[in-house]
Structure 1
């Protein structure tokens, strides 16, 4: 980097320390708040959303205007767009989250014969960072999940969604926290959208030990590499793209329905991206599949391909409305393609034969696998009834797939005399 870049990076690190320190100070109030107060704050966010819709939609309109001027693709503009319907859905998700019981703090692991009991205790991480793509609803998803798990947060998005995200924070999140008696500083929004602030977010292990990374594959992988060098742990959602394999003994109407359902939104990670047709029925299926795709305005990429078979079209601003079609020899071959040539996000098998389905399901190692169901279901709210912070694709122990507030904790073992486990001493322990 040049001297000027060094100065900007130093300034970004200083600013990020301020954000993280403010969030950490807000944790003291959050730590002593009751579950009811946490849930009241979430409900107040849901109540405020429709009452400030005008301000939110106006800010979003400015974001959309800038996105159109910058040449952002229609698919990415759709991800960025807020509507009354989407605001109502966001409010409903907040109400749902508020109604979900809080996980018990302590769970009995073992009552030992020596008079001691081993407990597993859930502890908040502290302040969690998050870097995410131009989707304003993610601002609220992250803020609500962090609040429910009693963690602070430092949120950073790109310039495309910054006005919308700032409006959500100032009009919804901060007032709801303040009205509940919680410190609004506990959730911070970074207003700098340059790459220096992104690098700073993953460079402060003492203040931000964990950072959630969402966005395009190259940028997220780059930030993950920087985080690793600084000792910052990440939960990364770098790549996506759903796979649909049509095996033997298929029902053609189900095939066509799942193709349509998998393409209802083109700018999302779990949309249909790669369509594999079993070699035994490839020639028979292809004409109908092509008609369905073309009727939906989707271009068909047929072999031989000039791109990797798992190329993620949703990240291609000019060609998002594309699906790759190819042949697979059998369920094991299809699973191997999905495992080795795609992100490992999600795959589905379409067949009426349980043996075919079982072979594919058992061989696929990604975060979610479906039988006669769309990969669009691999979503926190659709799958678990909860907003998500992202979909973690890591191949290591830990939360994998849609990550929710239930996953944002540290495990601690506590050993106490067994007599102290009785309800009279410790009524909240789960056996």
Structure 2
């Protein structure tokens, strides 16, 4: 086993024990100071990011968009730290309490998961988001980012660790693996003696590799083959605004819409308008035969229906009915985020009930599937599985429960 990782795991466990002793006020003050220190170090962070951007010059735009760090994005990271500081501390929460027939008092209390490992791709903001959420929830974190963002991640982690050290707090609450080899990533996936959970954050390939390889418990996150269904009772103007926003506002992220389904009753009238609006933003459309018969576009292949593009590409399908739309989405979705555009209350409610995804919308953009938009301050990722957590993972999702039982001499008969 990798000795460096073992030592990091040991330091993380020691840091987590110290975090357990911190009260909410101390954690909040530390987060506010980390935000100030991040802003103060913006020039060195941007300089480090430029080194990564120079090496990524031949990468596609969807990749460099996630990689880029500028002053605005640093301000957003700092704002995220401040927001997390203002949120309720889940570790201070008792979910419920009761007395048994034997007179035992039982308290169900929130406690940290422990040591969390996070494997992520070229998304440097994850370094700060993860540090904020894990620290506030009393967890230590070991981060392993992609090699493409190594300089940026290192600069961000150094600022956060130095901030903790300056406040006499355990800097090993946040650790970054600087060896980005596949061998080290593989070792991290088997660090069972030190990691309590492993969270992959990135594209479908990364997530599936971690899920299939890791022996550490994994929370599956991220891959977003998201759908918007324009129902026969939809308003065209609303559909136009939502579809364009969901596809083009930031196409490289997992909550961007990748597929457009449209009811046959409105397809002839609505699809030309939607297609024109999407193409005005540079979106390439790929359609089934019925969509192609209405608007000239590239033919969609079978693979298109299961592809997360993270790009200005959208596949379009004309469906016979509401039921066909639901069946298609549940068959091809990654169970991330889906939306229906409709004025029919019964159809909207049926969509909410029947779609098997973490986040299901009526008349709103899928781009709202985001921890900060949900009021969580930031997110550790968006879980697309059902066990432990589902949807955007904020502070409470980084805790588990402990039962505390208080008696006065009871024995069981």
TM over 0.5: yes
Kept in 2, the 8 Å contact 1:131–1:155? The answer is: yes
- Report the equivalent of 1:147: 135
Aligned length, in residue pairs? 396
Greater Cα shift, 178-187 or 51-60: 178-187
How far apart in 2 are the matches of 1:362 and 1:28?
42
Q: What secondary structure is seen at the aligned counterpart in 1 of 2:372?
A: helix
Greater Cα shift, 331-340 or 370-379: 331-340
Match of 2:18 among 23, 29, 39: 29
Greater Cα shift, 371-380 or 96-105: 96-105
How far apart in 2 are the matches of 1:83 and 1:241?
28
Match of 1:42 among 31, 35, 49: 31
Matches within 5 A, 1:278-317: 278-303=263-288, 304-306=299-301, 307-314=303-310
Q: What secondary structure is seen at the aligned counterpart in 2 of 1:78?
A: helix
Please report how far the alpha carbon of residue 346 of structure 1 lies from its aligned counterpart in structure 2 after TM superposition: 0.4
How far apart in 1 are the matches of 2:40 and 2:342?
47
Q: What secondary structure is seen at the aligned counterpart in 1 of 2:219?
A: strand
Please give the per-residue CA displacement for 1:16-45, whole angstroms capped at 9, x wherever unaligned. Answer: 112111212222321212211111111011
Match of 2:403 among 404, 413, 417: 413
Please report how far the alpha carbon of residue 107 of structure 1 lies from its aligned counterpart in structure 2 after TM superposition: 3.7
Matches within 5 A, 1:167-206: 167-171=155-159, 173-206=160-193
Stretches of structure 2 lacking an aligned partner (at least 5 in a row): 289-298
- Report the equivalent of 2:291: none
How far apart in 1 are the matches of 2:68 and 2:164?
25
How far apart in 2 are the matches of 1:37 and 1:176?
13
Judging changes above 3 Å, is the alpha-carbon distance between structure 1 residues 47 and 401 closer, same or farther for their aligned structure 2 residues? same
Q: What secondary structure is seen at the aligned counterpart in 2 of 1:237?
A: coil
How far apart in 2 are the matches of 1:310 and 1:109?
46
- Report the equivalent of 1:120: 108
- Report the equivalent of 1:324: 315
Kept in 2, the 8 Å contact 1:158–1:193? The answer is: yes
Stretches of structure 1 lacking an aligned partner (at least 5 in a row): 1-9, 315-319, 420-431
Please report how far the alpha carbon of residue 254 of structure 1 lies from its aligned counterpart in structure 2 after TM superposition: 0.7
Kept in 2, the 8 Å contact 1:198–1:223? The answer is: no
How far apart in 1 are the matches of 2:96 and 2:351?
38
Please report how far the alpha carbon of residue 238 of structure 1 lies from its aligned counterpart in structure 2 after TM superposition: 4.7
Does residue 360 (structure 1) correspond to residue 355 (structure 2)? The answer is no
Please report how far the alpha carbon of residue 209 of structure 1 lies from its aligned counterpart in structure 2 after TM superposition: 2.5
Please report how far the alpha carbon of residue 111 of structure 1 lies from its aligned counterpart in structure 2 after TM superposition: 2.1
Q: What secondary structure is seen at the aligned counterpart in 2 of 1:381?
A: coil
- Report the equivalent of 2:365: 374
Please give the per-residue CA displacement for 1:286-312, whole angstroms capped at 9, x wherever unaligned. Answer: 111110111011100111422231311
How far apart in 2 are the matches of 1:161 and 1:153?
18
How far apart in 2 are the matches of 1:79 and 1:192?
21
Please give the per-residue CA displacement for 1:197-253, whole angstroms capped at 9, x wherever unaligned. Answer: 1111110111113101111212221221111xx3x1001115113211000121111
Judging changes above 3 Å, is the alpha-carbon distance between structure 1 residues 353 and 65 closer, same or farther for their aligned structure 2 residues? same
Does residue 259 (structure 1) correspond to residue 243 (structure 2)? The answer is yes
Kept in 2, the 8 Å contact 1:218–1:238? The answer is: no
- Report the equivalent of 1:79: 66
Judging changes above 3 Å, is the alpha-carbon distance between structure 1 residues 200 and 298 closer, same or farther for their aligned structure 2 residues? same
How far apart in 1 are the matches of 2:206 and 2:25?
39
Please report how far the alpha carbon of residue 108 of structure 1 lies from its aligned counterpart in structure 2 after TM superposition: 3.2
How far apart in 2 are the matches of 1:274 and 1:373?
15
Please report how far the alpha carbon of residue 180 of structure 1 lies from its aligned counterpart in structure 2 after TM superposition: 2.3
How far apart in 1 are the matches of 2:100 and 2:43?
60
Kept in 1, the 8 Å contact 2:326–2:354? The answer is: yes
TM-score by length of 2: 0.92
- Report the equivalent of 1:95: 82
How far apart in 2 are the matches of 1:268 and 1:193?
23
Greater Cα shift, 304-313 or 102-111: 102-111
Match of 2:5 among 3, 16, 33: 16
- Report the equivalent of 2:227: 243
Give runs of ≥4 in structure 1 deviating > 4 Å: none
Please give the per-residue CA displacement for 1:105-138, whole angstroms capped at 9, x wherever unaligned. Answer: 4343322343221111222222110101211111
Does residue 274 (structure 1) correspond to residue 259 (structure 2)? The answer is yes
Kept in 1, the 8 Å contact 2:222–2:382? The answer is: no
